[in-house]
Amino acid sequence: MANIQQVAKQAGVSVATVSRVLNGQNKVASRTKQKVENAIKELNYEPSMLGRNLRNSESRIMLILIPAISNPFYFEIIKGIENMALSQNYSILLCETDSRPEKEDIYFDLVRKKMADGIISMDPAVNIETLKELAEKYAIIQCSEYGGGIGIPYVTIDSEEASYRAVKHLIQIGHRKIALMNSDEKFSYARERKAGYERALAEYGLPVIDDYILYTQQLGFEYGQQAMKKILALPDRPTAVFAVSDLLAIGALKELNAAGIHVPNDMAVVGFDKIDFSNMTNPTLTTIAQPMYKMGAIAARMLIDLLRGEQVDSVVLEHELIIRESTSG
């Protein structure tokens, strides 16, 4: 394969002149430019994009931080990010953090070392202080999970309002004893979804019962099963469950099926996210739909705008309550 030195020799010019032609600079005379272009064609020379990007101080790579690749919630968001990125000649690099700060630091270093241009963070456990510090120099967008009031633009939905709607639906179809299957409240989405749950109960004069609020360490299917086992062991069992993620809700459904409890007649279940699997359960899962693909595409567009030096405002997208068999029989 030909290199830039061979192109320069063939065209009878310096390497610097070939470089200027490749970078589209106007300082090269049209006749000289033609010679270089002819040499490139004759030698079938392919310039190194990495070398060109380094000279331009850009990598054309977006860093995408997610806590767990295994969580299907992120699939559609990533697809939205990728399609928007590719349309603007960017590539994406997926970084699974496992919500561990030491892994985050390794990935943040890629931006500091100019191996990536900017970050889209979807990690609820991300170190906000480090993110704020990075955002002073580098382009960062928060997607889905966000820290408000820290000056970093985000795209998300109103989780508090969405949870309020989900629990209100359960109350309106006759439930008065509703459990909440929640994640760790160190995450903003967990706090917001609990607030929506409590607002709906308060509106209808229903008490918040501590035994009905269960916290899980992670959002995996098996954690939903374990939480449902605890609910079924309660002496005064609730008649409905609102889970802050579809994975927890699907785990809960599995446990209810195993225990021979009919859904929704004996217990109704509502999830959150509308992942693809939520329509494959038995019964199908009532859930809050997040516009995940759109969220990803907008996040990528926002990051590109930031990289171009444009002003970027945060975006709150609409959500939708999808009523299916797990609450409507």
Q: Are residues 296 and 152 in the same domain?
A: yes
Q: Which residues of the chain have pLDDT under 50?
A: 50, 54
Question: What digits encode the pLDDT tens for the residues 41-83?
Answer: 888 887 655 455 545 567 799 999 998 888 899 999 999 999 9
3-state secondary structure of 230: helix
Instruction: Write out the two tokens for 212.
Output: 């009905």
User: What pLDDT score does 93 carry?
Assistant: 95
Q: Are residues 151 and 164 in the same domain?
A: no
The CB-side HSE value for 81 (13 A sphere, CA atoms) comes to 30
User: What pLDDT score does 51 carry?
Assistant: 53
Report the sign of the C-alpha dihedral through residues 194, 276, 66, 298, in that order.
negative
User: What pLDDT score does 1 carry?
Assistant: 66
Specify the DSSP element, H or E, that contains 61: strand 61-66
Which residues have CB under 8 Å from 210's CB, separation 6+?
none
Q: Could you tell me if 143 and 156 are in contact, meaning their C-beta atoms sit under 8 angstroms apart?
A: yes
Q: Does residue 323 belong to any structural domain of this protein?
A: no
User: What pLDDT score does 150 carry?
Assistant: 82
User: What pLDDT score does 2 carry?
Assistant: 77
Instruction: Write out the two tokens for 2.
Output: 């030909």
Nearest to 55 by CA among 13, 28, 106, 16: 16
User: What pLDDT score does 303 carry?
Assistant: 97
User: What pLDDT score does 49 carry?
Assistant: 52
User: What pLDDT score does 161 carry?
Assistant: 98
Q: Does residue 147 belong to any structural domain of this protein?
A: yes
Domain hosting 124: range is 59-156+292-317
Q: Are residues 128 and 108 in the same domain?
A: yes
- The CATH number of residue 135's host domain is 3.40.50.2300
Of how many residues is the chain composed?
A: 329
User: What pLDDT score does 56 carry?
Assistant: 53
Q: Could you tell me if 76 and 292 are in contact, meaning their C-beta atoms sit under 8 angstroms apart?
A: yes
